Amino acid sequence: MWLEEVLYRMGQRAKTVAGLRRRFFLDEIPDRGLVLLPGIRGVGKSVALLQLFSQHDGYLAWIDELRLFYGKGIRDLLREVERREGSGLESLDATILLDEVHYDPEWAGTLKWLADIFRGRVVATGSSALAFELTPELARRARVLWVWPLSFYEWLHLRGEDVRPVRIEDVLFGDVEPEYRPGFERFLMEGGLPVTLELGIDAVMRSVERVIFSDLLVTGGFDRRTLSLAPRVVRELAIHPGISVERIASEVGLSKPTVIALLDSLERAGLIIQLRPFGPRSSIRKGLRRYFVTPTIRYSLTRPDYDYGLLMEEYAASLLYHLALRRGWELTFWSGEGPDFVLIAGARKIAVEVGIGRKGGRQIRMALDRVDEGIVISEEGPKREGRVRWVPLASFYRGY
């Protein structure tokens, strides 16, 4: 039967990754219930499922292949699992692993139904849009663990080094011991995505193209001409930091509304981050600041030229944005002279300034009348002056 063919192929693939080191997030996956792992292409979701499959009895299928090779969807797979087990899913205690579920147009309803009747574990991956498309019913039943680009210490870990990582919130709000490790600049350039460990920096652009021509094709609803011009939009973002929507539209040859829709879809696909300015919310979508989800994407598009300070700022934006997603907070940027970011944690507002070298804290102090506290990430510290704390870079590097 076709399920046996699928499981055999998954088993052969699992053998190729069984000896690789595991991503940190795998230790957070519970043994029961429905877990969703959204993330950008090339971030290691499929490898993570193969590692889980090699360690646990159960079932693994890549939904895009399932539809392409067999014309089947998730419900077809589940019916075949019941046939193979000789019992209904209600009585089955197993691990079911589903990769790229967004290729099944009925994925949300099927996973909700499965979560209601299945007492085992379901781990499902998909594009970042997965997290934004959850129905309220499915959101109540699922735990969402974002598969984010690599942090510096996770990159060191996957390359074979022994490290002692800590949560980024502990770095920002606690006293984490500095621990200098060489290689941070190289990491910013080529270490953000696990795919580069095996295939090199050229694999980054291939991942970007797969986001555009696979994920956006499925979820974006764009015509062929728009998709064909999307790589140029991405390149404009990389080459010209802070470029306006109007200029992108002029340079690429698309309308302004189309560029805005494309940027929103790139954000939902996990390729870029769009931050609003700190202050009162406006109904006008103007003045957003955009970062790539990892500075490695920017470097891959601009090499050999790059701005080390910009890559550092982009990495900080990515870490802080991931923290905000996990905790239900919001990350904004400071418009004009002042700190780089303001992290809104409920009623608490924290200004964050990031820099290479020594930072005196002048930019942070300019914001203290509008925020509750400030954090300076630089070569100085650890120290505190009133409502401002200095976090050494050698401590910040440990965060994930």
pLDDT digits (tens, 9 = 90+) for 171-183: 999 989 999 999 9
pLDDT on residue 384? 93
pLDDT at 146 over 70: yes
Q: Do 141 and 363 contact (CB within 8 A), yes or no?
A: no
pLDDT on residue 216? 85
Q: Do 359 and 338 contact (CB within 8 A), yes or no?
A: no
pLDDT on residue 358? 78
Pick the CATH number of 2-144 from 3.20.20.60, 3.40.50.10790, 3.40.630.30, 3.40.50.300: 3.40.50.300
Q: Is 175 exposed, middle or buried (0-12, 13-18, 19+ CB in 10 A)?
A: exposed
Mean pLDDT of the region 6-12: 95
Confidence of residue 285 (pLDDT cuts 50, 70, 90): low
pLDDT on residue 283? 52
Q: What is the DSSP string of 317-359?
A: HHHHHHHHHHHT-EEEE--SSS-SEEEEETTEEEEEEE-SS--
Pick the CATH number of 152-396 from 1.25.40.10, 1.10.10.10, 3.40.50.150, 3.30.70.20: 1.10.10.10
Mean pLDDT of the region 161-174: 95
Look at the block and give the residue holding tokens 């009747």. 117
Give the global pTM: 0.92
Q: Would you list the domain boundaries of the chain? A: 2-144, 152-396
pLDDT on residue 135? 87
Q: How many CB atoms lie within 10 A of CB 143?
A: 14
Q: What is the mean pLDDT of the chain?
A: 93
Confidence of residue 297 (pLDDT cuts 50, 70, 90): very high
133 token code pair: 């498309």
Q: Which residues contact 162 (CB under 8 A, 6 or more apart)?
A: none
pLDDT in tens, 311-340: 999 999 999 999 999 999 999 999 989 999
pLDDT in tens, 253-281: 999 999 999 999 999 999 999 999 999 87
pLDDT on residue 396? 96
pLDDT on residue 357? 80
Q: How many CB atoms lie within 10 A of CB 106?
A: 12
Mean pLDDT of the region 49-61: 92
pLDDT in tens, 181-232: 999 999 999 999 999 998 999 999 999 998 998 888 876 789 999 999 999 9
